């Protein structure tokens, strides 16, 4: 069963589904801009403005990205909406009360030189469930046996919900809220699904890894630094006495200003050999959110299926990598699935890739583990800059699992 999540919620790293950055062209002959009807999976069909307008006026409404439920934009929807706000994106979605259908996008064209060549398909998101897995070349690594086996990742988030995508024993549950370890909102379950899903419908980046789900959100969608620090301290102490050491912490969390207690905990975890990954944020401007802006943290910006930067990704010199974070299909509550956006989703891609790097390093070095700096360097050496996004939105670029 599939459903759409309208707000991937944790603080600044939470964004709605309908915010996908799509491609577009300016006709080379200087004629007026054209329009595309474009599905979020990148499939599209070039049509003239009049045709776009007819489609919009017949069965669909144009909505602004992030609006939950169809919102009419006037009788000449396609032209009127894009003319009023040429710098914004608009999506044509079927009327449907509180649950709009996945977007068919009519976007004004400008500032790009090539249209997309794939034909339009009415299956709006069909066949695109694992585009991120494919983009980072995870299958090539897994074919060599590099699937994260033996690596433990702590996901500090909103807990976890049982799911068929998670193998028996793949998830260990911890609670730092006093409300129990189970996920009440779906964020933690979605993040974990990106990492370890076994391929029933979602292919995880590191399906051989083990996740320690550390619940630090009681269910209101807000993480307290007190609970986050408690989880990090638990990981540090655990590693002092256990042979099953936590190697990566995924922290899909971000706030505008530093929190001294969390900053101190992050530094101690880094010194203890734990790689920490966090999102850049979804504010869309030149400021990476804390703790992603710390030098000890790998900050991740988000990309789209079309190798553009996700429209709302925050950016800055602190960004280390870019990873899939728009129209991501992942696990949801009650053994369901969902499509969701945000740098909260890009971060677990890199956490999964970090697990692959750690496993690969151990195999080559007699079981010894790399330092966080070495993990970052391995990811950097595997990465390729995407052609379109600003360098501040991608750091070293998109990691390639086949090169780890």
Task: Clarify whether 187 is annotated catalytic.
Answer: yes
Alpha-carbon gap, residue 142 to 355, rounded angstroms: 12
**Which of these is catalytic: 6, 187, 225, 383?**
187
Phi (first) and psi of residue 244, to 5 degrees: -90, 80
Could you tell me where the beta strands, DSSP code E, fall in 59-151? 61-63, 91-93, 104-108
Which class for 138: exposed (0-12), middle (13-18), buried (19 or more C-beta within 10 A)? buried
Task: Clarify whether 344 is annotated catalytic.
Answer: yes
**How far lies 271's CA from each of 4, 254, 259, 280, 372, in Å?**
40, 21, 18, 22, 9
Q: What angle do CA 319, 320, 324 make, to 5 degrees?
A: 90
Cα 22 → chain centroid: 16
Count the neighbouring beta carbons within 10 Å of the beta carbon of residue 403: 16
Structural contact between residues 187 and 8, judged by C-beta atoms closer than 8 angstroms: yes
Alpha-carbon gap, residue 368 to 298, rounded angstroms: 21
Span between the terminal Cα atoms of the chain, in Å:
34
**Which of these is catalytic: 147, 157, 183, 217?**
157
**Which of these is catalytic: 70, 161, 314, 344?**
344
Positions marked catalytic: 157, 187, 344
């Amino acid at each position: 069963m599939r459903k759409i999540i309208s707000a991937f919620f944790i603080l600044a790293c939470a964004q709605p589904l309908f915010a996908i950055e799509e491609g577009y062209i300016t006709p080379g002959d200087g004629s007026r801009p054209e329009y595309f009807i474009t599905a979020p999976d990148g499939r599209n069909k070039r049509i003239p403005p009049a045709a776009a307008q007819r489609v919009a006026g017949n069965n669909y409404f144009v909505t602004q990205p992030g609006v939950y439920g169809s919102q009419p934009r006037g009788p000449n929807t396609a032209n009127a909406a894009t003319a009023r706000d040429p710098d914004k994106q608009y999506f044509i979605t079927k009327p449907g009360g509180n649950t709009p259908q996945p977007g068919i996008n009519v976007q004004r064209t400008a500032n790009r030189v090539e249209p997309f060549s794939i034909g339009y398909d009415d299956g709006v998101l069909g066949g695109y469930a694992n585009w991120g897995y494919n983009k980072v070349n995870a299958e090539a690594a897994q074919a060599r046996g590099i699937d994260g086996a033996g690596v433990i990742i702590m996901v500090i988030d909103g807990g976890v919900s049982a799911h068929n995508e998670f193998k028996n024993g793949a998830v260990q549950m911890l609670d730092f809220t006093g409300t129990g370890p189970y996920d009440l909102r779906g964020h933690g379950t979605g993040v974990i699904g990106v990492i370890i899903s076994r391929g029933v419908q979602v292919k995880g980046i590191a399906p051989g890894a083990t996740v320690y789900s550390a619940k630090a959100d009681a269910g209101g969608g807000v993480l307290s630094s007190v609970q986050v620090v408690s989880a990090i301290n638990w990981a540090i102490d655990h590693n002092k006495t256990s042979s099953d050491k936590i190697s990566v912490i995924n922290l899909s969390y971000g706030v505008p200003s530093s929190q001294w207690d969390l900053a101190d905990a992050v530094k101690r975890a880094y010194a203890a050999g734990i790689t920490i990954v966090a999102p850049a944020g979804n504010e869309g401007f030149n400021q990476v959110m804390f703790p992603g802006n710390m030098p000890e943290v790998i900050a991740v910006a988000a990309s789209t299926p079309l190798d553009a930067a996700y429209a709302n990704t925050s950016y800055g010199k602190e960004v280390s990598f870019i990873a899939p974070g728009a129209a991501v299909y992942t696990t949801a509550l009650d053994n369901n699935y969902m499509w969701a956006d945000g740098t909260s989703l890009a971060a677990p891609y890199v956490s999964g890739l970090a697990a692959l790097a750690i496993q690969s390093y151990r195999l080559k070095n007699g079981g010894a583990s790399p330092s966080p700096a070495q993990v970052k360097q391995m990811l950097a050496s595997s990465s390729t800059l995407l052609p379109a996004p600003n360098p501040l939105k991608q750091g070293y670029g998109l990691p390639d699992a086949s090169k780890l």
